[in-house]
Amino acid sequence: MGFSEDPALQLLLFVLFLSMYLITLLGNLLIALAISSDSHLQTPMYFFLCNLSLADVGFTSTTIPKMIVDIHTHSTVISYVGCLTQMSLFIIFGCMGDLLLTVMAYDRFVAICHPLYYQVIMNPCRCGFLVSVSVVASLLESLLQNLMLLRATCFKDVDISNFFCESSQLLTLAFSDTFTHGIAIYFVGIIYGFLPISGILYSYYKIISSILRVPSAGGKYKAFSTCGSHVTVVCLFYGTSLGVYLSSAASLASRKCAVASVMYTVVIPMLNPFIYSLRNRDIKRAMWRLLSQQAI
């Protein structure tokens, strides 16, 4: 259903979302290129950040290009296969970003609470394993939700109160039984929402406990500063995505969910490069070197 059927707003929406999408692509790809091309950034923290940037690119690319085309063609129709494909890719990249944030919290926990064993624990094999687990878990979640949706033999002439095929709304359409629908929604939410956020909260509980034992104020500030960007992204992502997921499961009629969905599908992936780079001297130096080489 998109955002508005008012013809006067279509050009504004087209320019707005095209600009945001291009900024998201440029910012995240620039961070990924800067990290991969700089030998000083070949550390676990930046390895996970590089993967998070690539996941954000895929995350926004599953929804925004289709919406831009819909605005341009004045058509918001999507096929059944196209809808399931969009939902599957959206879940894969969204869950991957979700789990990578959890992995990054674990990385900060090891760096601050066990600094002497950091290189041993966060070795390249373990880092690759953690990213692989995130990918496999994302594929499994996508498969799980597709299997639940395939019980509905056909979606025809239905309205989705959003600008993309949002999974909780599709599950609401698939399950006529409210009780079964509620179980499916909250089961997926607990596994892929509550468990990762529990891991993040536990990691930061141990991190804060360890930092409070540091005697010097400078040491405390330095430790907290390494976590500030990650905490900001986690709060923004989980605060909006879980709220939209659970509220859209309860109501299909309101377009408020579509507006709220913009936060975690468009705005947060666009802000991530700025959040992670503005206060990070290593990233800024790497990006400056990358841009200087390209200019030369």
**What pLDDT shows up at residue 252?**
46
Q: With residue 88 as reference, give the H or E element that holds it.
A: helix 80-113
Rounded to the nearest integer, the mean pLDDT of the chain is 82
Residue 48: C-alpha distances to residues 83, 118, 132 (Å): 30, 15, 11
Distance, in Å, from the CA atom of 170 to the CA atom of 163, rounded to the nearest integer, reads 13
Superfamily of domain 7-295: Rhodopsin 7-helix transmembrane proteins (1.20.1070.10)
Indicate whether 254 pLDDT > 80: no
**What pLDDT shows up at residue 247?**
60
Q: What is the CA radius of gyration of the chain?
A: 20
**What pLDDT shows up at residue 139?**
93
Distance, in Å, from the CA atom of 273 to the CA atom of 290, rounded to the nearest integer, reads 15
Distance, in Å, from the CA atom of 165 to the CA atom of 88, rounded to the nearest integer, reads 9
* DSSP tag of 63: T
Confidence of residue 28 (pLDDT cuts 50, 70, 90): very high
Distance, in Å, from the CA atom of 233 to the CA atom of 280, rounded to the nearest integer, reads 15
Residue 33: C-alpha distances to residues 155, 193, 265, 280 (Å): 41, 30, 22, 16
Indicate whether 34 pLDDT > 90: no
Tokens representing 82? 């196209």
Instruction: Render pLDDT for 190-213 as a digit per residue (tens, 0 to 9).
Output: 776 778 888 888 998 988 888 888
Indicate whether 16 pLDDT > 80: yes
Distance, in Å, from the CA atom of 224 to the CA atom of 220, rounded to the nearest integer, reads 6
* DSSP tag of 157: S
Q: How many residues does the chain have?
A: 296
Stretch 257-283: mean pLDDT: 80
Confidence of residue 251 (pLDDT cuts 50, 70, 90): low
CA dihedral 20, 288, 229, 45 (to 10 degrees): 120
Distance, in Å, from the CA atom of 77 to the CA atom of 74, rounded to the nearest integer, reads 9
Q: Do 146 and 84 meet the contact criterion of CB atoms below 8 Å apart?
A: yes
Q: Which of 75-89, 228-242, 262-276 has the lowest mean pLDDT?
A: 228-242
Indicate whether 5 pLDDT > 70: yes
Confidence of residue 61 (pLDDT cuts 50, 70, 90): very high
Q: Do 260 and 243 meet the contact criterion of CB atoms below 8 Å apart?
A: yes
Distance, in Å, from the CA atom of 4 to the CA atom of 216, rounded to the nearest integer, reads 55
Distance, in Å, from the CA atom of 77 to the CA atom of 99, rounded to the nearest integer, reads 32
Q: Which of 37-41, 94-98, 104-108, 212-216 has the lowest mean pLDDT?
A: 212-216
Instruction: Render pLDDT for 202-249 as a digit per residue (tens, 0 to 9).
Output: 998 988 888 888 777 776 677 677 777 788 888 877 777 666 666 655
Pairwise pLDDT comparison (197 vs 127), residue with the higher score: 127
Q: Can you tell me which residue has the tokens 């040491």? A: 219
**What pLDDT shows up at residue 59?**
92
Q: Which of 114, 163, 183, 227 is nearest to 172 (CA)?
A: 183
Tokens representing 225? 């500063």
Instruction: Render pLDDT for 144-183 as a digit per residue (tens, 0 to 9).
Output: 888 877 765 566 778 887 888 887 777 777 766 656 656 7
